[in-house]
């Protein structure tokens, strides 16, 4: 039986199914004294999806709980244990070093969500870190994760952002923040690796059963649930990464501890949406080998799934050779699934159909993206201008995306010969008008550091309904001016 605690007044029960797993899966946390945090932003739409009254999040009891100041007796906050391959090297011992799992909400449709707090202070997994988060990265995660959701990408979501009133010391001193993050779960590839690396097969089996029951319960009655689970996770990752690519999104730190088995995007550290398109584009200050560049993400996704499959080998078959064959054939599906989605998404973006004969558009898409990269075109502006041109041939803004009139005309003639006018709605639904560009996020953060939260409010509004043309937010479509450009992003730790 799961513990149910009242929270947010008495209306919201929190459950603790993960905390029912054995003690070696996590560390239990207790409340710490300190000032109450202040609420900066509440995601009312998400709160309602969860069955929470958004105003109740601002009550003193809830603020005390979110800030880790006092917990009702039945609450079981935990820091989850995990390991992970970081930039290719294995770290046996990571875990929630600056976050905690408060509990789980099951909403009226029966969907279970983790409620996580990031920036909540030290845990047994903090190593040398302070367990805190600066307000800037908190706002960044709030805006980008919410934008991803609005763009239709599976992702953890931000329920609220708070300021702690404390100072966090990084290369400079920053105001401290907290983000309340909601996820289908926080089980990572690194959670499986944690137990696998310790030879704890019993725990790998328990985690597998728990994760299947939570994310893919329809597999439980199948003859080979672990094989199907592996295939399920691989398919989710392949599709997710195709979506990232189609939006010019670079995750930035695709370590296996930042790879959620649910198929949601998690860990918004040094992520970025590209302005100018280039497949080798990287923003993360710590990614000096460009391991996690835009165009490398599919192969890294496959690499991460290989690490995941390795943890499941003993569960796939008693015969190690047979287990290897099952894992290899599951991993072989990654490329095919990724390409299918990638082509589907880019055909929709360009408004072209797959040929009934044998042309799936792959070669044409590749050469068009090559042209865009050569000319360093703005990824989002290019596709939206093309969409407007497809809708209204008189709208010639697309030509302005090219540096030469001749090249523009040549490419547009070629495009016209491929374009299917029936796909205009597809184009509109795959080519966003507004994305959370780095320079805009930076401006929100700098204003917030000065105590001005109006740019944050504007950003939240502008990033809602990103596929809709909204006159009031025209300036959000602009690429950064030279002096506004952000060249690097950081982990936020
Ligand atoms: P990340 O790069 O954000 O995915 O974090 C990698 C690991 O470092 C995770 O185990 C985090 O919990 C931990 N970590 C990151 N920042 C801090 C911090 N300020 N204090 C304690 N642990 C941290
Ligand atoms: Mg992480």
Q: What confidence tens digit (pLDDT) does each residue in 276-323 have?
A: 999 998 888 888 888 999 999 999 999 999 999 999 999 999 999 999
What Cα–Cα distance (Å) separates residue 344 from each residue in 311, 351, 360, 365, 466? 32, 10, 9, 11, 20
User: How far is Cα 26 from Cα 21, in angstroms, rounded to an integer?
Assistant: 9
Distance in Å, CA 95 to ligand 2 centroid: 9
Tell me which of 96, 114, 257, 267 is the catalytic residue.
257
> CA nearest 79: which of 87, 91, 68, 69?
68
Ligand nearest to the backbone CA of 265? 2
Ligand 1 binding pocket includes 95 (Cβ within 6 Å): yes
* Residue tagged 């929630």 (tokens): 96
For residues 263 and 187, is the Cβ–Cβ distance under 8 A? no
The three-point CA angle 418-419-420 to 5° equals 120
| Section 135-157 average pLDDT | 98
Tokens of 487: 């060249």
Does the structure show a pLDDT above 50 at 1? no
CA 169 to chain centre: 26
Ligand 1 binding pocket includes 129 (Cβ within 6 Å): yes
* Residue tagged 């029951």 (tokens): 213
For residues 159 and 474, is the Cβ–Cβ distance under 8 A? no
| Section 359-376 average pLDDT | 95
Ligand 1 binding pocket includes 98 (Cβ within 6 Å): yes
Please report the pLDDT score of residue 10 as a whole number.
Answer: 43
pLDDT in tens, 373-428: 999 999 999 999 999 999 999 999 999 999 899 999 999 999 999 999 999 999 99
> CA nearest 298: which of 248, 349, 247, 242?
242
For residues 444 and 143, is the Cβ–Cβ distance under 8 A? yes
Predicted TM-score (pTM) of the model is: 0.96
Q: Whose CA is nearest to atom 6 of ligand 1?
A: 94
For residues 337 and 234, is the Cβ–Cβ distance under 8 A? yes
Tokens of 59: 């009550």
Ligand 1 binding pocket includes 96 (Cβ within 6 Å): yes
Does the structure show a pLDDT above 80 at 202? yes
Helix (H, G, I), strand (E, B) or coil at 173: strand
């Amino acid at each position: 039986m799961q513990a149910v605690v009242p929270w947010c007044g008495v209306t919201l029960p929190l459950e603790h199914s993960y905390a029912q797993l054995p003690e070696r899966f996590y560390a239990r946390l207790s409340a710490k004294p300190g000032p109450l945090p202040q609420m900066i932003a509440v995601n009312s739409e998400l709160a309602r999806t969860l069955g929470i009254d958004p105003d109740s999040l601002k009550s003193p009891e809830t603020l005390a709980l979110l800030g880790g100041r006092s917990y009702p007796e039945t609450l079981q906050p935990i820091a989850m244990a995990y390991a992970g391959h970081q930039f290719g090297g294995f770290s046996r011992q990571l875990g929630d070093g600056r976050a905690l799992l408060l509990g789980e909400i099951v909403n009226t449709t029966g969907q279970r969500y983790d409620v996580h707090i990031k920036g909540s202070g030290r845990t047994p997994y903090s190593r040398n870190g302070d367990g805190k988060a600066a307000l800037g990265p908190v706002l960044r995660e709030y805006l980008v994760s919410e934008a991803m959701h609005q763009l239709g990408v599976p992702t953890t979501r931000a329920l609220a952002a708070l300021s702690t009133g404390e100072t966090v010391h990084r290369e400079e001193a920053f105001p401290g923040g907290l983000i309340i993050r909601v996820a289908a779960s926080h089980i990572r590839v690194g959670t499986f690796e944690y137990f696998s690396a310790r030879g704890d097969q019993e725990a790998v089996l328990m985690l597998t059963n728990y994760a299947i029951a939570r994310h893919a319960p329809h597999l439980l009655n199948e003859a080979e649930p672990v094989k199907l689970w592996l295939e399920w996770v691989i398919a989710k990752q392949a599709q997710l990464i195709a979506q990232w690519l189609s939006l010019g999104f670079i995750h930035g730190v695709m370590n296996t501890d930042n790879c959620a088995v649910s198929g949601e995007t998690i860990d918004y550290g040094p992520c970025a949406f590209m302005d100018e398109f280039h497949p080798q584009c990287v923003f993360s200050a710590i990614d000096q080998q460009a391991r996690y560049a835009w165009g490398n993400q599919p192969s890294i996704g496959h690499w991460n799934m290989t690490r995941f499959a390795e943890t499941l080998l003993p569960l796939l078959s008693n015969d190690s050779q047979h287990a290897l064959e099952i894992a290899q054939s599951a991993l072989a599906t990654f490329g095919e699934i990724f390409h299918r989605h990638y082509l589907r998404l880019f055909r929709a973006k360009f408004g072209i159909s797959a040929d009934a004969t044998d042309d799936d558009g792959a070669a044409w898409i590749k050469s068009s993206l090559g042209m865009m990269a050569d000319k360093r075109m703005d990824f989002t502006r290019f596709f939206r201008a093309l969409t407007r041109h497809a809708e209204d041939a008189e709208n010639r803004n697309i030509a302005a995306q090219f540096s030469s009139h001749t090249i523009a005309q040549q490419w547009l003639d070629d495009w016209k010969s491929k374009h299917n006018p029936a796909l205009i709605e597809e184009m509109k639904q795959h080519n966003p008008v507004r994305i959370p560009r780095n320079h805009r996020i930076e401006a929100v953060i700098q204003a917030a550091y000065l105590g001005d939260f109006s740019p944050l409010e504007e950003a939240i509004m502008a990033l809602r309904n990103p596929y809709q043309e909204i006159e009031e937010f025209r300036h959000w479509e602009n690429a950064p001016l030279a002096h506004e450009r952000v060249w690097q992003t950081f982990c936020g730790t």
